[in-house]
Amino acid sequence: MSYDVELIRRDFPILDRRVGEYPLAYLDSANTSQKPQVVIDAIADHYARHNANVARAMHQLGAEASAAYEAGREKVAEFVGAARAEEVVFTKNASEALNLAAHSLGADLAPGDEVVISVMEHHSNIVPWQLLCERTGATLRWFDITPDGRLDLAAAAAEDLINSNTRIVSLAWVSNVVGTVNPIAEIAGLAHAVGALMVVDGSQAVPQLTTSVTDLGADLVAFTGHKMVGPTGIGALWGRYDLLSGMPPFLGGGEMIEVVKMTGSTYAPPPYRFEAGTPPIAQAVGLGAATDYLGGIGMAEVAAHERTITAYALAALGDVEGLRILGTTAIGPEGRGGAISFTLATADGLDIHPHDVMTFLDSRGVAVRGGHHCARPLHERLGIAASTRASFYLYTLEREIDQLVEALDYTRNFFGRVA
């Protein structure tokens, strides 16, 4: 059976929208994905028929809401190949999941210990580690990148980046800017060899690739619901159960306790230890529906489409005059994420600012992101302040890429005309 994008698009009501006189070309899915009707309906149905608080409400509706929330957890656990549902902690987003990881995993770090990240990380996988190092006196180190946007493994080996002082390594699986797929299993092997733990930011990968947290070799994996056709307000941290069991709480409050006395408290086992307060209940239901939806299509098919549409876009954008793609322009054997960031200049060498590009594209129905995409250090490393990013998903059509290319030509010609 061939993959039918037009058929899939019928599941997403928003994709029929127009922006002014143009059809919407939504090329900002790395920012947030659109939602299929089944996800929208699952959330509405939960609120309409089953709404109550979880765990603490003992009545019929409470039981239904609790069961629905836990069913969401089971679906997410299955989706990422977790050994058991209790390995999935719900958070409000990937940022909170990474903050949880940094806070709880790093609680006993001390001066002399080292945490390793990379220069290509999203701010959410930089700042929590900076805060941790400030708090504990540990040292933050990072992988540099090669000119084509890959982790510079040779330089890392030469400078003994991962060594006996390393306690935690935290890396993006797939870059949200240059689309690089990082060799997580290989680096997890290096980390484990020195007794360090491997944390993975899976925000851009889990929505696009078949995920098996055990094959990945990681100890903790953060990801978010809204980038995988689920609702906003829910993310997750997967962790090996024995590891989670030994980690101290992050946020304190209701439902994360065992016994509270004024002189001190004891804490619930995972995942509840890390879910203080009323959790994102309807969102867990929606995210469960999202994993059902993606599973129904098949993640292998979703990944194959991503690869096809990314190859088409790399070729089409490569032909745009004045356009320079950041990072790798080829899809290597390891694959490439569907985020393509680029700069655009006029024939006489004027760099057109990404916010101007974005506004021009928006006026022609094309939604992209302009700026540093929450990865300022990466842009600084590449010697630029900002870029324009187009990103794709299971519903992206070749004709939307064509609409992007036409709008880019129009933009460059506008800025390029001689005053």
Partner 1 sequence: MYQEIILDHYRAKHHSGLREPYGAQVTHVNPSCGDEVLLRVALQGETVTDVSYEAIGCSISQAATSVMTDLVIGRTVDEALGLHEEFTEMMHSRGEIEPDEDRLEDAIAFIGVARFPARVKCALLGWSAFKDAAAQALAGERMKES
| Active site residues per annotation | 374
Q: CB of 350: closest distance to partner 1 in angstroms?
A: 7
Nearest residue (CB) to partner 1, 168 versus 378: 378
Cα(176)–Cα(378) distance, integer angstroms: 11
Q: How far is the CB of 348 from partner 1 (least distance, A)?
A: 9
> What is the residue type of 250?
F
CB closer to partner 1, 167 vs 379: 379
Residue partners of 119: CB distance under 8 A and separation at least 6: 142, 143, 144, 145, 377, 378, 381
Q: Which residue, 192 or 376, is less far from partner 1 as judged by CB?
A: 376
Could you give the CA distance from residue 372 to residue 96 in angstroms, rounded to a whole number? 21
Dihedral sign from CA coordinates of 387, 334, 212, 155: negative
- Of 178 and 229, CB closest to partner 1: 178
Residue 255 or 362: the one with the smaller Cβ distance to partner 1 is 362
Cβ 222 vs Cβ 237: under 8 Å: yes
The terminus-to-terminus CA distance of the chain in angstroms comes to: 54
Q: Which is nearer to partner 1, 164 or 359 (CB)?
A: 359
User: What whole-number distance in Å separates Cα of residue 106 and Cα of residue 231?
Assistant: 30
Site of tokens 């990944």? 303
DSSP-derived pairing of the beta strands 114-118 and 88-91: unpaired
Nearer to partner 1, 140 or 385 (CB): 385
How far apart are the C-alpha atoms of 135 and 115, rounded to whole Å? Answer: 13
- Please, what is the minimum distance in Å from the beta carbon of residue 123 to partner 1? 11
Nearest distance from residue 378's CB to partner 1, in Å?
12
Q: What is the DSSP letter of 11?
A: T
- For residues 30 and 339, the answer to whether their CB atoms sit within 8 Å is yes
CB of 117 to partner 1, least distance (A): 20
State how far the Cα of 385 lies from the Cα of 359, in Å rounded to an integer: 17
d(CA 377, CA 383): 10
Sequence length of the chain is: 419
* 74 vs 356, beta carbon nearer partner 1: 356
Q: Could you tell me the smallest distance in angstroms from the CB atom of residue 368 to partner 1?
A: 14
Neighbours of 129 (CB within 10 A): 24
Cβ–Cβ under 8 Å, residues 391 and 339 = yes
Structure letter (DSSP) for residue 16: G
Which distant-in-sequence residues (6+ apart) come within 8 Å of 135 by Cβ?
Answer: none
SS3 258: strand
Binding footprint of partner 1 on the chain (CB under 8 A): 350, 352-356, 359-360, 370-372, 376, 379, 385-386, 414-415, 419
In one-letter notation, the amino acid at residue 310 is T
Q: How far is the CB of 395 from partner 1 (least distance, A)?
A: 25
- The maximal CA–CA distance of the chain, rounded, in angstroms, is 75
CB of 130 to partner 1, least distance (A): 16
Order of strands across the sheet with 220-224? 88-91, 235-239, 220-224, 197-201, 166-172, 114-118, 139-143
